[in-house]
Amino acid sequence: MQDLLNYLEINKNRFLNELKEFIAIPSISTNPENKEDVQKCANWASDHLKNIGMTDVRIFQTEGHPIVYAEWSGAKGKPTVLIYGHYDVQPVDPVELWESPPFEATIRGDNIYARGTADDKGQVFIHFKAIETYLKNYGSLPVNIKMILEGEEEVGSVNLPKFLKENKELLKADLIVVSDSSMFAKGVPSICYGLRGLCYMQIDLVGPKSDLHSGSFGGSVHNPIQALAEIIASLHDKNGKITIPGFYDDVLPLTKKEREAFKKLPWSDKKYAKELGVRELYGEKGYTTLERLWARPTLECNGIWGGFTGEGAKTVLPSKASAKISMRLVPHQKSAKIAKLFERHIKKIAPKTVQVTVRNLHGGEPAITPIDSPGVQAAVAALEKGFNKKPLYQREGGSIPIVVEFKKILGLDTVLLGFGLPDENAHAPNEFLNLDNFYGGMRTVVHLFNELPNYLKK
Ligand code: BES
Ligand code: ZN
């Protein structure tokens, strides 16, 4: 083991330079202009996987972006771990708020800054280097490895379930490991056992058939922006509860035990508010912040547009207004059912003065993974060795919709082994990965491969 840890230490700088190359390819999955970059990034990952010694490396084309598959199966009679991650990234706007260019990974202090450092190229890369460490030093690994890297996680993993269904045999494994979440705090490693689901909707309102002079016509028609604002404002009551009828029907209430466990975690609302730059926190009454973040459903307006938003002033009564609204879901809510409830409710409350269209953009189901499984116990042991600290158990507010599909289609549990940090600016300007987590993550994964055969006896 010491040889392996030494190898990680000696090669630190090279690893950073390689990560910079991976980061430099702007694989923004939602942006059609970056389609070729997404393909280039898949090629880069596939070449890299070949270079570190993975034997069966292939790129599967899909109706959307490609899936990279890689395998090393030289550990006869030993368990197989299937590592999942994503090489696509979120858009970078507003680009002017970045302190260094979003695709030029830059080290400042203890962090490396760029789009994709934490979510998720940097975390995927941690696995690449743990694998390389074994293969370059020993020519073998203590477990068999399969890997799938997708290019559509940030747009709802639309083509991945089909790939799983069509390749069940190829993907046979004992356990899935995903590093696409955060540790509880700096220096506090954690195992995540719950993710929220998602239901992402768009509302489009049309009022008059074209934009109107707001002086000549203001007072005679309902401004669609006002109508939209009224609709959105009515979706929460004064206690921060969502007003869509039936929305909470399937919500699994928090157990007393879990509430107590959350209360024991080191947490300060005051510190959290300060870090976020808000004077006060907001949320559903009757729940603590961690409960609201991890185990209660929410509704957020992600964007709203319409009318004149340019420099200066233009007196216009717009024809159209739109909003994107996402709901985070918890067990046992179902994304498709929530989408129907949302659509029915919006159509019911929309005033007669406007035409309304409601669209379901994408969704995913919430996940809870068992914490007493042998895979999780191996990860706990590995984290303790990698970070010199016992990890704690936490849930997360974000979504990785494929986790539920792994269970449904492949019958496999997922261990969520995150190396990001809660303030990593994922999906925002100045995303970063902490370097201690980068190297601690590599040590952890090296230990994990070593531990897994002891926990998952074949
Ligand atoms: N890495 C995140 C998921 C995540 C975020 C896990 C925070 C734990 C904490 C992932 O890349 C992501 O952003 N997922 C999307 C999924 C959506 C597009 C279906 C999300 O949560 O918005
Ligand atoms: Zn993301």
List all residues whose CB is within 6 A of at least one atom of ligand 1.
119-120, 153-154, 156, 180-182, 198, 364, 396, 398-401
Q: Residues near 342 by Cβ (< 8 Å), separated by ≥ 6? A: 199, 201, 244, 325, 327, 358
Torsion angles phi and psi, residue 171, rounded to 5: -95, 10
Q: Determine what percent of the chain is predicted with pLDDT higher than 90.
A: 98
pLDDT of residue 457: 76
Of the options 3.30.1340.30, 3.40.30.10, 3.40.50.720, 3.40.630.10, the CATH number for the domain spanning 2-195+366-455: 3.40.630.10
Contacts of 314 (CB under 8 A, 6+ apart): 308
How far is ligand 2, taken at its centre, from the CA of residue 93, in Å?
14
Best residue for ligand 1 mutational test, from 154, 179, 421 (most atoms within 8 Å of Cβ): 154
73-92 pLDDT tens trace: 999 999 999 999 999 999 99
Q: Whose CA is nearest to atom 4 of ligand 1?
A: 398
Radius of gyration over every alpha carbon of the chain, rounded to an integer in angstroms: 23
Among 229, 232, 252, which Cα is nearest to 333's? 252
Q: Whose CA is nearest to atom 9 of ligand 1?
A: 398
The CATH 3.30.70.360 portion of the chain extends over 197-251+297-363
Question: From the alpha carbon of 418, which atom of ligand 1 is closest?
Answer: 8
Helix residue spans in 222-284 (DSSP H) = 224-233, 256-263, 269-276
pLDDT of the residue at 222: 98
Indicate which residue's Cα is closest to atom 13 of ligand 1.
154
**pLDDT for 316-330, tens place per residue?**
999 999 999 999 999
- CA nearest ligand 1 atom 15, residue: 399
Q: In this structure, how many other beta carbons lie within 10 angstroms of the beta carbon of residue 258?
A: 16
Mean pLDDT over the full length of the chain: 97
Closest CA to 428 of 88, 93, 24, 34: 93
Q: Which residues in the chain are classed under CATH 3.40.630.10?
A: 2-195+366-455
Tell me the pLDDT tens digit for each residue of 337-393.
Answer: 999 999 999 999 999 999 999 999 999 999 999 899 999 999 999 999 999 999 999
Of 30, 399, 419, best ligand 1 pocket probe by most atoms within 8 Å of the beta carbon: 399
Biggest distance spanned by C-alpha atoms of the chain: 80
Give the number of the atom of ligand 1 that is nearest the alpha carbon of residue 180. 1
Residue 216 burial class via C-beta count within 10 angstroms: exposed 0-12, middle 13-18, buried 19 and up: exposed
| Partners of residue 152 on adjacent β-strands | none
Nearest listed ligand to the Cα of residue 396:
1
Q: Is 260:389 a contact under the CB 8 Å cutoff?
A: no
Say how far apart CA 136 and CA 426 lie, in whole Å.
Answer: 32
Give the closest residue to 344 by CA, choosing from 246, 251, 249. 246
CA of 215 to the centre of ligand 2 (A): 44
Distance 295 CA to ligand 1 centre (A): 15
Q: Which atom of ligand 1 is nearest to the CA of 154?
A: 18
pLDDT band per the 50, 70, 90 thresholds, residue 458: low
In this prediction, residues 420-437 reach a mean pLDDT of 97
251: helix, strand or coil: coil
> What is the strand order of the sheet 298-306 is part of?
298-306, 320-329, 197-206, 355-364
pLDDT tens per residue across span 394-417: 999 999 999 999 999 999 999 999
Topology classification of domain 197-251+297-363? Alpha-Beta Plaits (3.30.70)
3-state class (DSSP) for residue 59: strand
Handedness of CA 421, 427, 429, 430 (dihedral sign): positive
- What sign does the dihedral 90-92-98-103 (CA atoms) show? positive
Is 90 exceeded by the pLDDT of residue 50? Answer: yes
Looking at residues 129-138, what average pLDDT do you find? Answer: 98
Distance 133 CA to ligand 1 centre (A): 29
Strands 392-394 and 190-192: parallel
The closest alpha carbon to 132, from 1, 46, 8, belongs to: 8
Distance CA 454, CA 458 (A): 9
Ligand 1 atom nearest to CA at 192:
8
- Report, as residue numbers or ranges, the catalytic residues: 88, 153
Confidence of residue 26 (pLDDT cuts 50, 70, 90): very high
Choosing from 30, 180, 416 the residue with most ligand 1 atoms within 8 A of its CB, the one to mutate for a pocket test is 180
Q: How far apart are CA 38 and CA 21, in angstroms?
A: 14
C-alpha torsion 216→218→222→224, nearest 10: 90
pTM recorded for the entire structure: 0.93
Q: Does the structure show a pLDDT above 80 at 217?
A: yes
Nearest residue to 177 (alpha-carbon basis) of 383, 340, 432, 438:
383
Report how far ligand 2's centroid is from the alpha carbon of 457 (Å): 34
* Ligand nearest to C-alpha 426: 2
Q: What distance in angstroms lies between residue 272's CA and the mean position of ligand 1's atoms?
A: 20
